């Protein structure tokens, strides 16, 4: 899926900077100021988006550590028994979540990209075979995969309106549910 923020945000910044803001009436100070702030906010998003997941995971590690320390220190405070119990449960959930939070989004994107490339190379290389049965089998597999893949991608960009409501695309959330 190409339409992701790392691709979209720089295009938004360039359009605003090169075309839109220079055309704003200089007398409209409110519009100028807000336009410049939009550009500034987009720059901040572009810079921080690749770190967002790592930041949140780091914060969670830090809060789990803080929770552990506080639970130890408040172990004998009877007035905090209910709060201690609630925090114990939340910290356990967070620890379990951290155990699943392994690879970074950029690593997953890179792995997808590499697999796409190698799959493509295999398809091209296999196309020259004289083994008709193997070729038919490969064709069927690729076509089946394409159907599900394209349904996800079409659903991802449905808001753009390329296909209209008649396409009745499912919500992408339902297609990528575990």
Partner 1 sequence: MAAVLDKNRPSPEWIAELRRRFPCEAEIDRVLTRKLERRAGPPYAPVSLAQLQAGTEALLKTQLATPFTVRDCRWLSGGASKLQMAFTLDWTPPGAGAVSTPLVLRMEPSEAITETSRLREFQIIKALEGVVPVPPTYWIDARGEYLPYPAIVYGFAEGVTKPSASSSGVSGVGTFMPPQVRETLGQQFVDHLAATHRFDWQRADLSAYDRPAPGTQALEWALNHWERVWEEDANEDVPLMRLTMAWLRRNMPPVDHVSVIHGDYRLGNFLYTEDDLQISAWLDWELAYLGDRHEDLSWCAKRPFGHLAEDGKTFLIGGFLPMADFVARYEQASGLKVDPLRMRYYDIFNNYKAVAIVLATGYRAPRNGKTHQDVLVAWITGIAYSLLDELRSQMAEVL
Does residue 41 belong to the site contacting partner 1 (CB under 8 A)? no
Residue 163's contacts (CB-CB under 8 Å, 6 or more residues apart) are 154, 169
CB 2, min distance to partner 1, A: 5
CB 56, min distance to partner 1, A: 23
Does residue 147 belong to the site contacting partner 1 (CB under 8 A)? yes
Question: Which residue, 11 or 27, is less far from partner 1 as judged by CB?
Answer: 11
Of 26-34, 60-68, 81-89, 162-170, which part binds partner 1 (CB under 8 A)? 162-170
- Which DSSP string corresponds to the chain? ---SHHHHHHHHHHHIIIIIGGGS-TT-HHHHHHHHHHHHHHHHHHHHGGGHHHHHHHHHHHHHHHHHHHHHHTTT-GGGHHHHHHHHHHHHHHHHHHHH--S-HHHHHHHHHHHHHHHHHHHHHHTT-S-HHHHHHHHHHHHHHHHHHHHHHHHHTGGG-SS-GGG-PPPHHHHS--
CB 109, min distance to partner 1, A: 9
Residues 8-27 binding partner 1 (CB under 8 A) are 8, 10-12, 14-15, 18-19, 22
How many residues touch partner 1 (CB under 8 A)? 44
Chain residues in the site for partner 1 (CB under 8 A)? 1-3, 7-8, 10-12, 14-15, 18-19, 22, 107, 110-114, 116-117, 119-120, 123-124, 127, 136, 139-140, 142-143, 145-147, 150-151, 153-154, 156-157, 160, 162-163, 167
């Amino acid at each position: 899926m190409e339409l992701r923020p790392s691709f979209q945000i720089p295009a938004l910044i360039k359009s605003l900077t090169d075309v839109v803001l220079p055309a704003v009436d200089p007398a409209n100070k409110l519009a100028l100021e807000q336009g410049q702030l939009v550009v500034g906010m987009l720059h901040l998003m572009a810079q921080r988006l690749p770190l967002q997941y790592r930041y949140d995971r780091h914060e969670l590690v830090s809060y789990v550590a803080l929770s552990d320390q506080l639970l130890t220190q408040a172990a004998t405070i009877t007035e905090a028994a209910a709060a201690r119990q609630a925090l114990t449960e939340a910290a356990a959930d967070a620890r379990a979540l951290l155990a699943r939070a392994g690879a970074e989004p950029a690593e997953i994107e890179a792995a997808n990209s590499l697999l796409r490339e190698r799959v493509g190379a295999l398809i091209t290389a296999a196309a020259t075979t004289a083994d008709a049965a193997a070729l038919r089998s490969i064709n069927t597999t690729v076509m089946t995969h394409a159907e599900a893949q394209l349904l996800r991608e079409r659903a991802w960009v449905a808001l753009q309106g390329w296909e209209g409501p008649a396409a009745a695309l499912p919500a992408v959330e339902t297609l990528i549910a575990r």
